[in-house]
A = this chain, B = another copy of it.
Amino acid sequence: MEKKDVLAGLAALAQETRLDIFRLLVEAGPEGRSAGAIAEALAVAPATLSFHLSNLTHAGLIVQRRESRSLIYSADFGRMTGIVGFLSENCCGRSANPAACAPLCAPVPEAANTENQEETGNGASAGPRCGC
């Protein structure tokens, strides 16, 4: 995963409409959703949606396939995990002492959860986030 790819992915997600689209597709899973269905679900004008879908596709975050007259879009999780990996690369300088790293790299177990419990159980499943 190269820096420019990560940058493109983050830029694509850093926009409300596109973030909504992506999360809708994450929720839809491999099955995906047609452009029309997305437009209806999010109440976005066709031209605007097309612009954003193109953006997300070029960023590699979503994938397009045809099904009769409709174009179906679905999320590409591999790309997302790649981006996350890039962000935590060389975490804490790959220090050999997990102690110095723990406060940052593995705050999930209990500390970070005291703030906001809404959607724990997903990414915050207490697994080791970085290689520390």
Binding site for B on A (CB under 8 A): 1, 3, 6-7, 10-16, 19, 22-23, 26-31, 74-78, 80-82, 84-93, 95, 100-101, 103-105, 107-108, 111-112, 115-116, 118-125, 127-131
Contacts and interface: CB of A to CB of B under 8 A. Distances in A.
A129 B81 contact: yes
A85 B26 contact: no
Number of copies: 2
The A interface, classified by DSSP as helix, strand, loop or mixed, is helix
A119 B89 contact: yes
Contact of A103 (B7, B30, B95): B30
Nearest to A12: B14
A97 to B, nearest CB: 10
A125 B122 contact: no
The 10 closest A-B pairs by CB, nearest first: A85-B123, A29-B92, A127-B127, A10-B14, A11-B14, A78-B112, A14-B14, A84-B123, A89-B119, A77-B104
Nearest to A108: B81
